[in-house]
Amino acid sequence: MKFKFLLAIGIISSFAACNSERKGEIITEPTGWEIVETPVNASIRGLSPLTSEIIWASGSGGTWLLTIDGGQSWSTGIIAGLDSVDFRDIEGLDANTAIAIAAGQPAVIYKTTDSGATWQKKFEGPETAFLDGIAFHKDQKGYVIGDPIDGKWMVLETIDAGETWTWIESSPMAEPGEGSFAASGSTILADQDHIWFASGGIKSKVYMSTDGGHDWEISETPIIQGEPSQGIFSITKLDNSNLIAVGGDYLQPDLALNNTIYSKEMGKNWELVSSSYPSGYRSGVTYFPRFHWAISVGTNGSDYSVDGGINWQKFSDEGFHAVFMDKAQGSIWASGLDGKIARLVY
């Protein structure tokens, strides 16, 4: 009887130890990407994961995509028949509703409320307009950043979930040769009444408003700049004080110098990474609070940082345009050439 009791205790203890060991397993780094099959071969720069199951995407040839089962199956089509237009960014509000922006020729904003079956035009910019990215804080309030027209940035605002758009009269002025990049739709951030957007080219700055776009603070940055192909390509927020911006020179994809900056003052002042940079031009960056990882992507691979963007290490040679955490904060997704969409593996 005593032997059976001790044996039972031993089995229970052994099971508990094994279970505790599994629960105590520490994940220290991402291991790569799981590529999910899509039915398109478009260049996918617009990406909006809502959960680990619901993901919207958009790209060249007027392409839109939607999955509601984590990429096992996809709905897809051409937005309003615009098969020559590149929809560089998309914002999903739910499984039925999304807003997509076309960079230019024409620079338009379309919205669907029936999971992509039909799309309605909600805005069309001037002939010279070029739209770069879209960001929403809540389902009703969002912003779009467009390149300067006659020296004035095109900052558009909606307060009715994308039904109507207004060019904010107090949009700031730009310097000659300054624009924003539409490589990943992530040069703009919105959080309550805070808006940040980044420029590149001859000058690369960060513009910040704390009152919904009425007043603006403009910060010079030390990131590589001075040529039309250089500057900030993506910006992300870690917490209420810390932000990271990545970029480089898209004509020199392997140049790993002065391509990442960080701010500890909500974007007012920016510093260069002091030691290890991401391993080349980076067009997208996002933050994964679950593991305190910053993930950056570009055409020559993917890097991660565990210290708020100060030091970076390459973990994959897979190239992408864009990377985003889902709004439920449970997964990281990336998109790129030839219809490529992937989920971060760790």
The CATH number covering residue 108 comes to 2.130.10.10
Residue 233 within a domain: yes
Backbone angles phi, psi at 200, to 5 degrees: -150, -175
d(CA 125, CA 130) in angstroms, rounded, equals: 8
d(CA 287, CA 225) in angstroms, rounded, equals: 24
| Of 78, 96, 9, nearest in space to 42 by CA | 78
**Per-residue pLDDT tens for 3-39?**
333 334 343 344 343 333 335 578 999 999 999 999 9
Residue 28 within a domain: no
Residue 30 within a domain: no
Residues 6+ apart with CB under 8 A from 297: 282, 283, 284, 285, 319, 320, 321, 322, 323, 334, 336
Residue 4 within a domain: no
Residue 245 within a domain: yes
Residue 24 within a domain: no
H-helix or E-strand spanning residue 10: helix 2-23
**Per-residue pLDDT tens for 46-87?**
999 999 999 999 999 999 999 999 999 999 999 999 999 999
Query: What is the domain count for the chain?
Result: 1
**Per-residue pLDDT tens for 164-211?**
999 999 999 999 999 999 999 999 999 989 999 999 999 999 999 999
d(CA 106, CA 53) in angstroms, rounded, equals: 32
Q: What share of the chain is helix, strand, coil (3-state, %, to 5)?
A: 10, 40, 50
How far apart, in Å, do the first and last CA atoms of the chain sit?
46
Residue 16 within a domain: no
Residue 14 within a domain: no
Angstrom distances, CA of residue 166 to CA of 90, 101, 137: 18, 15, 17
Domain that holds residue 45: 35-345
| Of 100, 99, 108, nearest in space to 130 by CA | 108
Backbone angles phi, psi at 337, to 5 degrees: -70, 160
- Is the full-model pTM beyond 0.95? no
Opening angle at CA 55, ends 53 and 59, nearest 5: 155
